[in-house]
A and B are shown apart, each in its own frame.
Chain A
Amino acid sequence: MNTPALKDWPLWEVFVRSKQGLEHKHCGSLHAADAAQALHMARDVYTRRQEGVSIWVVPSVAITASNPDDKGELFDPAADKIYRHPTFYEIPEEVGHM
Protein backbone atom coordinates (compact mmCIF):
# COMPACT_ATOMS: atom_id res chain seq x y z
CA MET A 1 0.00 0.00 0.00
CA ASN A 2 1.64 3.20 -1.14
CA THR A 3 0.37 6.26 0.70
CA PRO A 4 3.20 8.78 0.77
CA ALA A 5 0.81 11.72 0.93
CA LEU A 6 -0.85 10.59 4.13
CA LYS A 7 2.51 10.09 5.77
CA ASP A 8 3.41 13.67 4.94
CA TRP A 9 0.21 15.14 6.28
CA PRO A 10 1.17 16.65 9.62
CA LEU A 11 -0.85 16.19 12.79
CA TRP A 12 -3.01 19.06 14.08
CA GLU A 13 -4.57 19.55 17.49
CA VAL A 14 -8.15 20.79 17.40
CA PHE A 15 -9.66 23.22 19.94
CA VAL A 16 -13.36 24.09 19.87
CA ARG A 17 -15.22 26.93 21.60
CA SER A 18 -18.65 25.54 22.36
CA LYS A 19 -20.28 28.93 22.73
CA GLN A 20 -19.48 32.61 22.81
CA GLY A 21 -17.92 33.59 26.12
CA LEU A 22 -16.43 30.16 26.86
CA GLU A 23 -12.82 29.11 26.29
CA HIS A 24 -11.59 26.95 23.44
CA LYS A 25 -11.17 23.38 24.65
CA HIS A 26 -8.97 20.66 23.23
CA CYS A 27 -11.16 18.04 21.63
CA GLY A 28 -8.89 15.85 19.50
CA SER A 29 -6.49 15.74 16.59
CA LEU A 30 -6.38 15.01 12.88
CA HIS A 31 -4.02 14.83 9.92
CA ALA A 32 -4.27 17.49 7.21
CA ALA A 33 -2.08 18.88 4.45
CA ASP A 34 -2.32 22.49 5.63
CA ALA A 35 -4.09 24.74 8.13
CA ALA A 36 -7.06 25.51 5.87
CA GLN A 37 -7.71 21.82 5.26
CA ALA A 38 -7.27 21.08 8.96
CA LEU A 39 -9.94 23.65 9.80
CA HIS A 40 -12.27 22.25 7.18
CA MET A 41 -11.84 18.69 8.40
CA ALA A 42 -12.15 19.74 12.04
CA ARG A 43 -15.53 21.24 11.19
CA ASP A 44 -16.69 17.94 9.68
CA VAL A 45 -15.24 15.75 12.40
CA TYR A 46 -15.83 17.69 15.60
CA THR A 47 -18.82 19.99 15.01
CA ARG A 48 -21.45 17.89 13.23
CA ARG A 49 -23.96 18.60 16.01
CA GLN A 50 -23.44 22.29 16.63
CA GLU A 51 -20.73 21.60 19.20
CA GLY A 52 -18.94 24.83 18.39
CA VAL A 53 -18.94 28.45 17.25
CA SER A 54 -15.19 28.70 16.72
CA ILE A 55 -12.33 26.30 15.95
CA TRP A 56 -8.56 26.57 16.43
CA VAL A 57 -6.14 24.19 14.78
CA VAL A 58 -2.51 24.08 15.95
CA PRO A 59 0.33 21.99 14.49
CA SER A 60 1.01 19.33 17.12
CA VAL A 61 4.77 19.88 16.82
CA ALA A 62 4.26 23.50 17.94
CA ILE A 63 3.09 22.40 21.39
CA THR A 64 5.65 22.20 24.17
CA ALA A 65 4.47 20.04 27.04
CA SER A 66 5.78 19.68 30.56
CA ASN A 67 7.68 16.47 31.24
CA PRO A 68 5.76 13.98 33.40
CA ASP A 69 9.02 13.22 35.25
CA ASP A 70 9.06 16.84 36.45
CA LYS A 71 5.57 16.57 37.87
CA GLY A 72 6.80 16.59 41.45
CA GLU A 73 9.08 19.59 41.10
CA LEU A 74 6.55 21.55 39.13
CA PHE A 75 3.37 20.97 41.03
CA ASP A 76 4.16 19.71 44.53
CA PRO A 77 5.37 23.07 45.87
CA ALA A 78 1.78 24.30 45.66
CA ALA A 79 0.55 21.49 47.91
CA ASP A 80 1.58 23.03 51.25
CA LYS A 81 0.49 26.58 50.46
CA ILE A 82 -3.01 26.19 51.77
CA TYR A 83 -3.08 29.89 52.72
CA ARG A 84 -3.66 30.56 49.01
CA HIS A 85 -7.20 29.28 49.40
CA PRO A 86 -10.05 31.32 50.89
CA THR A 87 -11.05 28.47 53.20
CA PHE A 88 -7.75 28.89 55.12
CA TYR A 89 -9.12 31.98 56.86
CA GLU A 90 -11.63 31.93 59.68
CA ILE A 91 -14.07 34.83 59.64
CA PRO A 92 -16.69 35.41 62.40
CA GLU A 93 -20.10 34.14 61.42
CA GLU A 94 -21.82 37.51 61.92
CA VAL A 95 -19.74 38.92 59.06
CA GLY A 96 -21.81 36.78 56.71
CA HIS A 97 -20.72 35.88 53.21
CA MET A 98 -17.29 37.19 52.24
Chain B
Amino acid sequence: MYTQAMDIPDDSGKKLAAVSNAPSEQEAAFEARIDADGRIEPQDWMPEAYRKTLVRQISQHAHSEIVGMLPEGNWISRAPSLKRKAILIAKVQDEGGHGLYLYSAAETLGTSRDQMLEGLHSGKAKYSSIFNYPTLNWADVGVIGWLVDGAAIMNQVPLCRCSYGPYARAMVRVCKEESFHQRQGYEALLVMMKGTDEQRAMVQDAVNRYWWKCLAMFGPPDADSPHSAQGMRWGIKRISNDDLRQKFIDATVPQAKVLGVTLPDPALKWNEARGHYDYGQIDWAEFWNTVEGNGPCNKERLATRVKAHNDGQWVRDAAQAYARKQKERALKEAA
Protein backbone atom coordinates (compact mmCIF):
# COMPACT_ATOMS: atom_id res chain seq x y z
CA MET B 1 0.00 0.00 0.00
CA TYR B 2 1.48 3.31 -1.05
CA THR B 3 0.23 5.48 1.70
CA GLN B 4 1.57 7.22 4.73
CA ALA B 5 -1.91 8.01 6.03
CA MET B 6 -1.92 5.09 8.47
CA ASP B 7 1.75 5.09 9.16
CA ILE B 8 3.44 4.73 12.51
CA PRO B 9 2.94 7.89 14.67
CA ASP B 10 5.48 10.72 14.50
CA ASP B 11 6.99 10.13 17.92
CA SER B 12 7.92 6.53 17.19
CA GLY B 13 11.41 7.56 16.16
CA LYS B 14 12.26 8.90 19.61
CA LYS B 15 10.98 5.83 21.38
CA LEU B 16 12.89 3.55 19.06
CA ALA B 17 16.11 5.48 19.52
CA ALA B 18 15.83 5.00 23.27
CA VAL B 19 15.57 1.22 23.10
CA SER B 20 17.84 0.61 20.16
CA ASN B 21 20.83 -0.42 22.26
CA ALA B 22 19.40 -3.71 23.39
CA PRO B 23 17.81 -5.64 20.53
CA SER B 24 14.10 -5.64 21.26
CA GLU B 25 11.61 -8.29 20.26
CA GLN B 26 10.59 -6.06 17.34
CA GLU B 27 14.16 -5.68 16.22
CA ALA B 28 14.72 -9.42 16.38
CA ALA B 29 11.60 -9.98 14.28
CA PHE B 30 12.83 -7.41 11.75
CA GLU B 31 16.27 -9.02 11.54
CA ALA B 32 14.71 -12.46 11.15
CA ARG B 33 12.56 -11.28 8.28
CA ILE B 34 15.55 -9.69 6.56
CA ASP B 35 17.56 -12.90 7.02
CA ALA B 36 14.73 -14.91 5.47
CA ASP B 37 14.79 -12.52 2.48
CA GLY B 38 11.29 -11.34 3.38
CA ARG B 39 9.82 -7.91 2.59
CA ILE B 40 9.26 -4.98 4.93
CA GLU B 41 6.02 -3.05 4.43
CA PRO B 42 5.20 0.53 5.54
CA GLN B 43 3.23 -0.51 8.63
CA ASP B 44 5.90 -2.92 9.88
CA TRP B 45 8.29 -1.95 12.62
CA MET B 46 11.74 -1.01 11.28
CA PRO B 47 14.92 0.40 12.84
CA GLU B 48 15.15 4.17 12.57
CA ALA B 49 18.43 3.91 10.65
CA TYR B 50 16.79 1.61 8.08
CA ARG B 51 14.00 4.13 7.62
CA LYS B 52 16.42 7.05 7.31
CA THR B 53 18.63 5.25 4.83
CA LEU B 54 15.63 4.44 2.66
CA VAL B 55 14.20 7.95 2.80
CA ARG B 56 17.56 9.34 1.73
CA GLN B 57 18.09 6.81 -1.04
CA ILE B 58 14.55 6.83 -2.47
CA SER B 59 14.22 10.62 -2.40
CA GLN B 60 17.62 11.03 -4.07
CA HIS B 61 16.51 8.52 -6.65
CA ALA B 62 13.28 10.47 -7.22
CA HIS B 63 15.17 13.76 -7.50
CA SER B 64 17.45 12.17 -10.10
CA GLU B 65 14.47 11.22 -12.25
CA ILE B 66 13.07 14.75 -12.01
CA VAL B 67 16.34 16.58 -12.68
CA GLY B 68 17.10 13.97 -15.35
CA MET B 69 14.29 15.47 -17.44
CA LEU B 70 16.24 18.71 -17.87
CA PRO B 71 19.27 17.76 -20.03
CA GLU B 72 17.01 15.90 -22.47
CA GLY B 73 14.18 18.38 -22.25
CA ASN B 74 16.61 20.89 -23.78
CA TRP B 75 16.47 18.88 -27.00
CA ILE B 76 12.73 18.39 -27.43
CA SER B 77 12.36 21.53 -29.53
CA ARG B 78 15.51 20.70 -31.51
CA ALA B 79 14.99 16.99 -32.21
CA PRO B 80 15.96 16.19 -35.83
CA SER B 81 12.58 14.72 -36.85
CA LEU B 82 8.98 14.49 -35.68
CA LYS B 83 9.55 10.80 -34.85
CA ARG B 84 12.57 11.55 -32.64
CA LYS B 85 10.66 14.39 -31.02
CA ALA B 86 7.69 12.16 -30.14
CA ILE B 87 10.08 9.52 -28.74
CA LEU B 88 11.93 12.09 -26.65
CA ILE B 89 8.73 13.58 -25.25
CA ALA B 90 7.56 10.07 -24.28
CA LYS B 91 10.88 9.37 -22.58
CA VAL B 92 10.93 12.64 -20.65
CA GLN B 93 7.32 12.02 -19.58
CA ASP B 94 8.37 8.57 -18.32
CA GLU B 95 11.11 10.15 -16.20
CA GLY B 96 8.54 12.44 -14.58
CA GLY B 97 6.40 9.37 -13.88
CA HIS B 98 9.38 7.52 -12.37
CA GLY B 99 9.99 10.47 -10.07
CA LEU B 100 6.38 10.27 -8.94
CA TYR B 101 6.45 6.50 -8.24
CA LEU B 102 9.56 7.04 -6.14
CA TYR B 103 8.28 10.07 -4.22
CA SER B 104 5.18 8.01 -3.39
CA ALA B 105 7.33 5.13 -2.16
CA ALA B 106 9.36 7.52 0.02
CA GLU B 107 6.19 9.06 1.44
CA THR B 108 5.20 5.67 2.86
CA LEU B 109 8.18 6.09 5.20
CA GLY B 110 6.68 9.16 6.82
CA THR B 111 8.34 11.96 4.88
CA SER B 112 6.23 14.40 2.85
CA ARG B 113 6.44 15.57 -0.74
CA ASP B 114 7.01 19.11 0.53
CA GLN B 115 9.93 18.08 2.71
CA MET B 116 11.54 16.26 -0.20
CA LEU B 117 11.03 19.11 -2.67
CA GLU B 118 12.39 21.54 -0.10
CA GLY B 119 15.48 19.33 0.24
CA LEU B 120 16.01 19.30 -3.52
CA HIS B 121 15.32 22.98 -4.11
CA SER B 122 17.50 24.19 -1.24
CA GLY B 123 20.40 22.06 -2.46
CA LYS B 124 20.47 19.95 0.69
CA ALA B 125 19.42 16.76 -1.09
CA LYS B 126 21.61 15.20 -3.76
CA TYR B 127 20.69 13.79 -7.14
CA SER B 128 22.69 11.80 -9.68
CA SER B 129 25.74 13.81 -10.69
CA ILE B 130 25.51 12.71 -14.30
CA PHE B 131 22.84 15.36 -14.89
CA ASN B 132 25.24 18.14 -14.00
CA TYR B 133 26.97 17.79 -17.35
CA PRO B 134 25.75 19.60 -20.46
CA THR B 135 24.10 18.01 -23.52
CA LEU B 136 26.04 19.73 -26.28
CA ASN B 137 24.79 18.01 -29.40
CA TRP B 138 22.05 15.64 -30.57
CA ALA B 139 24.32 12.61 -30.17
CA ASP B 140 24.38 13.36 -26.41
CA VAL B 141 20.67 12.50 -26.29
CA GLY B 142 21.39 9.10 -27.85
CA VAL B 143 24.34 8.51 -25.55
CA ILE B 144 22.24 9.37 -22.50
CA GLY B 145 19.74 6.71 -23.55
CA TRP B 146 22.37 4.10 -24.32
CA LEU B 147 24.92 4.67 -21.54
CA VAL B 148 23.26 6.72 -18.80
CA ASP B 149 20.00 4.77 -18.88
CA GLY B 150 22.00 1.59 -19.44
CA ALA B 151 23.96 2.26 -16.25
CA ALA B 152 20.74 3.19 -14.43
CA ILE B 153 19.16 -0.12 -15.48
CA MET B 154 22.16 -2.06 -14.10
CA ASN B 155 21.62 -0.25 -10.83
CA GLN B 156 17.85 -0.53 -10.78
CA VAL B 157 17.28 -4.17 -11.70
CA PRO B 158 18.68 -5.48 -8.38
CA LEU B 159 16.56 -2.84 -6.57
CA CYS B 160 13.44 -4.71 -7.75
CA ARG B 161 14.44 -7.23 -5.02
CA CYS B 162 14.97 -4.54 -2.38
CA SER B 163 13.75 -5.51 1.09
CA TYR B 164 11.41 -2.51 1.30
CA GLY B 165 8.21 -3.48 -0.53
CA PRO B 166 7.03 -0.11 -1.90
CA TYR B 167 10.51 0.70 -3.26
CA ALA B 168 10.83 -2.72 -4.88
CA ARG B 169 7.40 -2.42 -6.51
CA ALA B 170 8.16 1.07 -7.82
CA MET B 171 11.39 -0.27 -9.33
CA VAL B 172 9.60 -3.09 -11.14
CA ARG B 173 7.45 -0.50 -12.87
CA VAL B 174 10.43 1.75 -13.61
CA CYS B 175 12.54 -1.09 -15.04
CA LYS B 176 9.76 -2.16 -17.39
CA GLU B 177 9.72 1.31 -18.92
CA GLU B 178 13.46 1.89 -18.81
CA SER B 179 14.29 -0.68 -21.46
CA PHE B 180 12.66 1.48 -24.13
CA HIS B 181 14.85 4.36 -23.01
CA GLN B 182 18.08 2.51 -23.60
CA ARG B 183 17.00 0.98 -26.91
CA GLN B 184 15.77 4.25 -28.41
CA GLY B 185 19.11 5.88 -27.55
CA TYR B 186 21.18 3.09 -29.05
CA GLU B 187 19.06 3.05 -32.18
CA ALA B 188 19.33 6.83 -32.60
CA LEU B 189 23.13 6.43 -32.47
CA LEU B 190 23.05 3.56 -35.00
CA VAL B 191 21.24 5.88 -37.41
CA MET B 192 23.87 8.59 -36.92
CA MET B 193 26.71 6.09 -37.43
CA LYS B 194 25.23 5.24 -40.83
CA GLY B 195 25.30 8.95 -41.73
CA THR B 196 28.13 11.34 -42.58
CA ASP B 197 31.66 11.47 -41.15
CA GLU B 198 30.59 14.52 -39.21
CA GLN B 199 27.70 12.64 -37.61
CA ARG B 200 29.98 9.73 -36.68
CA ALA B 201 32.40 12.20 -35.12
CA MET B 202 29.52 13.66 -33.08
CA VAL B 203 28.68 10.22 -31.68
CA GLN B 204 32.32 9.50 -30.80
CA ASP B 205 32.63 12.91 -29.15
CA ALA B 206 29.52 12.31 -27.05
CA VAL B 207 30.78 8.85 -26.01
CA ASN B 208 34.16 10.35 -25.07
CA ARG B 209 32.54 12.93 -22.84
CA TYR B 210 30.05 10.61 -21.15
CA TRP B 211 31.88 7.27 -20.72
CA TRP B 212 33.82 8.04 -17.55
CA LYS B 213 30.92 9.94 -16.00
CA CYS B 214 28.74 6.85 -16.51
CA LEU B 215 31.28 4.61 -14.77
CA ALA B 216 31.25 7.03 -11.82
CA MET B 217 27.44 6.74 -11.63
CA PHE B 218 27.84 3.44 -9.76
CA GLY B 219 29.41 5.30 -6.85
CA PRO B 220 32.80 5.13 -5.14
CA PRO B 221 34.82 1.88 -5.07
CA ASP B 222 33.62 -0.67 -2.51
CA ALA B 223 36.68 0.00 -0.34
CA ASP B 224 35.61 3.66 -0.01
CA SER B 225 31.89 3.22 0.60
CA PRO B 226 31.44 2.46 4.30
CA HIS B 227 27.62 2.53 4.16
CA SER B 228 27.45 -0.11 1.46
CA ALA B 229 27.89 -3.03 3.86
CA GLN B 230 24.95 -1.95 6.02
CA GLY B 231 22.81 -1.47 2.90
CA MET B 232 23.72 -4.98 1.76
CA ARG B 233 22.98 -6.38 5.23
CA TRP B 234 19.52 -4.82 5.12
CA GLY B 235 18.76 -6.07 1.63
CA ILE B 236 18.46 -2.51 0.32
CA LYS B 237 21.52 -2.95 -1.85
CA ARG B 238 21.98 -6.34 -3.48
CA ILE B 239 25.12 -5.95 -5.60
CA SER B 240 28.18 -3.84 -4.71
CA ASN B 241 29.22 -0.68 -6.62
CA ASP B 242 32.29 -2.29 -8.16
CA ASP B 243 30.43 -5.44 -9.21
CA LEU B 244 27.68 -3.40 -10.89
CA ARG B 245 30.28 -1.24 -12.62
CA GLN B 246 32.04 -4.34 -13.93
CA LYS B 247 28.76 -5.79 -15.16
CA PHE B 248 28.01 -2.58 -17.01
CA ILE B 249 31.42 -2.47 -18.67
CA ASP B 250 31.26 -6.12 -19.70
CA ALA B 251 27.83 -5.57 -21.24
CA THR B 252 28.73 -2.31 -22.98
CA VAL B 253 32.01 -3.19 -24.72
CA PRO B 254 30.35 -5.50 -27.30
CA GLN B 255 27.58 -2.92 -27.87
CA ALA B 256 30.20 -0.25 -28.61
CA LYS B 257 31.82 -2.58 -31.12
CA VAL B 258 28.55 -3.13 -33.00
CA LEU B 259 27.95 0.61 -32.97
CA GLY B 260 31.45 1.27 -34.28
CA VAL B 261 32.69 3.62 -31.56
CA THR B 262 35.79 3.48 -29.35
CA LEU B 263 35.41 3.65 -25.57
CA PRO B 264 37.92 6.28 -24.38
CA ASP B 265 39.99 4.08 -22.09
CA PRO B 266 43.39 2.79 -23.28
CA ALA B 267 43.46 0.38 -20.34
CA LEU B 268 40.20 -1.29 -21.38
CA LYS B 269 41.19 -4.89 -22.12
CA TRP B 270 39.69 -8.38 -21.82
CA ASN B 271 41.22 -10.25 -18.90
CA GLU B 272 41.01 -13.96 -19.62
CA ALA B 273 41.88 -14.97 -16.06
CA ARG B 274 39.18 -12.79 -14.47
CA GLY B 275 36.64 -13.35 -17.21
CA HIS B 276 36.02 -9.59 -17.22
CA TYR B 277 37.27 -6.43 -18.89
CA ASP B 278 39.99 -4.53 -17.04
CA TYR B 279 39.58 -0.76 -17.05
CA GLY B 280 41.49 2.39 -16.13
CA GLN B 281 41.34 4.82 -13.22
CA ILE B 282 38.17 6.84 -12.64
CA ASP B 283 38.74 10.49 -11.71
CA TRP B 284 37.05 10.49 -8.28
CA ALA B 285 38.22 14.01 -7.42
CA GLU B 286 36.21 15.29 -10.36
CA PHE B 287 33.21 13.17 -9.30
CA TRP B 288 33.21 14.50 -5.74
CA ASN B 289 33.70 18.04 -6.94
CA THR B 290 30.52 17.70 -9.00
CA VAL B 291 28.64 16.06 -6.13
CA GLU B 292 29.66 18.99 -3.94
CA GLY B 293 27.92 21.34 -6.36
CA ASN B 294 30.79 22.54 -8.54
CA GLY B 295 30.05 20.67 -11.76
CA PRO B 296 29.48 22.55 -15.02
CA CYS B 297 25.67 22.62 -14.73
CA ASN B 298 24.76 22.20 -11.03
CA LYS B 299 23.61 25.79 -10.59
CA GLU B 300 21.75 25.93 -13.87
CA ARG B 301 19.90 22.63 -13.29
CA LEU B 302 18.77 23.62 -9.82
CA ALA B 303 17.72 27.11 -10.93
CA THR B 304 15.70 25.65 -13.84
CA ARG B 305 14.03 23.15 -11.51
CA VAL B 306 13.13 25.80 -8.90
CA LYS B 307 11.81 28.16 -11.60
CA ALA B 308 9.61 25.41 -13.08
CA HIS B 309 8.22 24.69 -9.62
CA ASN B 310 7.55 28.35 -8.87
CA ASP B 311 6.05 28.99 -12.30
CA GLY B 312 3.64 26.13 -11.65
CA GLN B 313 2.44 27.53 -8.33
CA TRP B 314 -0.60 29.24 -9.87
CA VAL B 315 -1.69 25.94 -11.45
CA ARG B 316 -1.58 24.18 -8.08
CA ASP B 317 -3.40 27.08 -6.44
CA ALA B 318 -6.07 27.09 -9.16
CA ALA B 319 -6.67 23.34 -8.88
CA GLN B 320 -7.02 23.72 -5.13
CA ALA B 321 -9.43 26.66 -5.43
CA TYR B 322 -11.50 24.79 -8.02
CA ALA B 323 -11.74 21.69 -5.84
CA ARG B 324 -12.86 23.83 -2.89
CA LYS B 325 -15.47 25.60 -5.01
CA GLN B 326 -16.87 22.32 -6.33
CA LYS B 327 -17.14 20.96 -2.81
CA GLU B 328 -18.96 24.08 -1.58
CA ARG B 329 -21.34 23.93 -4.53
CA ALA B 330 -22.13 20.27 -3.86
CA LEU B 331 -22.79 21.04 -0.19
CA LYS B 332 -25.10 23.94 -1.11
CA GLU B 333 -27.07 21.80 -3.55
CA ALA B 334 -27.45 19.07 -0.97
CA ALA B 335 -28.77 21.53 1.64
A34 interfacial by beta-carbon distance below 8 Å: yes
**How far apart are the CA atoms of A3 and B319 in the complex, in Å?**
13
Chain B residues positioned under 8 Å from A9 (CB to CB): 316, 319-320
A55 interfacial by beta-carbon distance below 8 Å: no
CB <8 Å contact, B313 and A34: no
Closest to B118 in A: A1
**How far apart are the CA atoms of A13 and B319 in the complex, in Å?**
19
Chain A contact-residue range equals 20 to 34
What is the minimal beta-carbon distance from B114 to any residue of chain A, in angstroms?
A: 5
**How far apart are the CA atoms of A63 and B94 in the complex, in Å?**
28
B53 interfacial by beta-carbon distance below 8 Å: no
B41 interfacial by beta-carbon distance below 8 Å: yes
B247 interfacial by beta-carbon distance below 8 Å: no
CB <8 Å contact, B1 and A13: yes
Contact with A along B302-335 (1 / 0, CB 8 A): 0000100100010011011011001100000000
Q: A5 contacts which of B93, B101, B121, B319 (Cβ < 8 Å)?
A: B319
**How far apart are the CA atoms of A9 and B327 in the complex, in Å?**
14
Chain B contributes a number of interface residues (CB within 8 A of A) equal to 39
B255 interfacial by beta-carbon distance below 8 Å: no
CB <8 Å contact, A33 and B320: yes
**How far apart are the CA atoms of A45 and B98 in the complex, in Å?**
9
CB <8 Å contact, A3 and B97: no
B104 interfacial by beta-carbon distance below 8 Å: yes
Contact residues of A with B, CB < 8 Å?
1-3, 5-9, 11, 13, 26-34, 37, 44-45, 48-49, 60-61, 63-65, 67-68
Q: Could you list some 10 contacts between A and B, CB below 8 A?
A: A1-B309, A5-B319, A6-B114, A9-B320, A26-B1, A28-B173, A29-B104, A45-B97, A63-B1, A68-B43
The 9 closest A-B pairs by CB, nearest first: A5-B316, A34-B323, A29-B2, A33-B323, A33-B319, A60-B3, A60-B5, A5-B320, A68-B43
Contact residues of B with A, CB < 8 Å?
1-6, 41, 43-45, 90, 93-94, 97, 100-101, 104, 107, 112-114, 117-118, 121-122, 170, 173, 177, 306, 309, 313, 316-317, 319-320, 322-323, 326-327
| New A-B pairs, 17, CB < 8 Å, besides A13-B1, A27-B173, A28-B170 | A3-B114, A3-B117, A3-B309, A5-B316, A6-B114, A11-B3, A26-B1, A28-B2, A29-B107, A34-B319, A37-B323, A45-B101, A48-B94, A60-B4, A61-B5, A68-B41, A68-B45
